[in-house]
Amino acid sequence: MADGVSKAVLITGCSSGIGHATAEHLARSGWAVYATARRPDSLADLADAGCRTLALDVLDEGSMRAAVAEVESEEGAVGVLVNNAGYGQSGAVEAVPLDLVRRNLETNVFGYLRMAQLVLPGMRRQRWGRIINLSSVAGRVTMPGSGIYSSTKFAIRAMTDALRFEVRGFGVDVVLIEPGPIRTHFTGSANAGMPDGAGADGTYADYHSAVAKADAEADQSKLLAGDPDDVARVIGRAASARHPRARYRVTIPSRLLPAIRGVLPDRAFDAFLRTQAPPPGA
């Protein structure tokens, strides 16, 4: 803590992917990093890299409170919150069971919201803080099979825009990171959790297969997809910038797809989506 201002970083969802890469990158850059996951034993290599590791489950109020309290007891405040914990839920809207929809919203949206609520009092007290929310190009453009997941990311975008306006006067910046396809296990996990279609009599089985194939191809594209380290470096810039931008986009699709969506009328954009996956019932 320098000059009474803590710049300690608390990152959620560090067991793999973007969260893991971000914790490692910021620790190497000299930040005091608190890397968290539901199972802290999955963070052993980050501890070796100089991170403090804590248990944090964004579906557990007590766990979230305890993690924030631990950082505040050692540092005075959470200086930078990186809201990263989340996962994808693929599948046709009709076919995804409601309990899976609720869990995705609880994790991806309510987890971000509650973590922001918990760290903000400390940030306001020291008149400095930064909240960095991981969203996605899916928060701007809804691709086939991503209705549920995109809903969570659209919600994160709206919450971030409101929060940025509300806390800037307290010295707190709120930043949105919008990656496109990233080469992680994220899409594989989303597709593995895709419903088998039983809830809709198997109507969407072929559609789900086409969506899984298109998503996998995008995530492995050398031209379109990025690596977790690409996102980690952008988060590092957002954390260290004197005046960070409101939003940062990572990879070509994160810039290109919203531009296409903004130019094309709805019917024309739907025609573009048909090139990605044949619509059900066609």
Question: What does each C-alpha distance from 34 to 50, 62, 178 come to in angstroms?
Answer: 9, 17, 23
Asked if the structure places residue 20 within a domain, the reply is: yes
Neighbours of 24 (CB within 10 A): 21
Q: Is residue 78 part of a domain?
A: yes
Q: Structural domain tally of the chain?
A: 1
Work out the burial of residue 170: count CB atoms within 10 Å of its CB; fewer than 13 is exposed, 13-18 middle, 19 or more buried: middle
- Out of 90, 112, 146, 149, the active site residue is 149
Set 135, 136, 150, 254: catalytic member: 135
Q: Give a yes or no: residue 86 inside a domain.
A: yes
170, pLDDT greater than 70 = yes
Is 153 in the active site? yes
Per-residue pLDDT tens over the stretch 46-102: 999 999 999 999 999 999 999 999 999 999 999 999 999 999 999 999 999 999 999
Confidence of residue 181 (pLDDT cuts 50, 70, 90): confident
Is residue 281 in a domain? no
Identified catalytic residue from 15, 42, 63, 221 = 15
Mean pLDDT score, 134-146: 95
Kindly state the percentage of the chain with pLDDT values over 70: 91
Would residue 234 count as lying in a domain?
yes
pLDDT tens digits, 188-204: 665 666 776 545 568 89
Q: Is 135 a catalytic residue?
A: yes
**Average pLDDT of every residue of the chain:** 92
265: containing domain: 9-274
Cα→Cα distances 88→1, 31, 56, 104, 248, Å: 36, 29, 19, 8, 20
Which tokens hold the place of 68?
């924030």
* Higher pLDDT pick, 28 / 201: 28
In a domain, 3, yes or no: no
Residue 280 lies in a domain: no
Whether 90 is a known active-site residue: answer no
Return the CATH number at 256.
3.40.50.720
Give CA–CA dist 94/147, Å, rounded.
Answer: 10
The answer to whether residue 149 is catalytic is yes
- According to the model, what pLDDT value does residue 1 have? 44
Q: Looking at the predicted structure, is the pLDDT value of residue 185 above 90?
A: no
Query: Is 65 among the domain residues?
Result: yes
Given the residues 34, 112, 153, 207, select the one marked as catalytic. 153
SS (H, E, C) the chain: CECCECCCEEECCCCCHHHHHHHHHHHHCCCCEEEEECCHHHHHHHHHCCCEEEECCCCCHHHHHHHHHHHHHHHCCCCEEEECCCCCCCCCCCCCCHHHHHHHHHHHHHHHHHHHHHHHHHHHHHCCEEEEEECCHHHCCCCCCCHHHHHHHHHHHHHHHHHHHHHHHHCEEEEEEEECCECCCHHHHHHHCCCCCHHHCCCCHHHHHHHHHHHHHHHHCCCCCECHHHHHHHHHHHHHCCCCCCEEEECHHHHHHHHHHHHCCHHHHHHHHHCCCCCCCC
Question: What pTM, to 2 d.p., does this model score?
Answer: 0.92
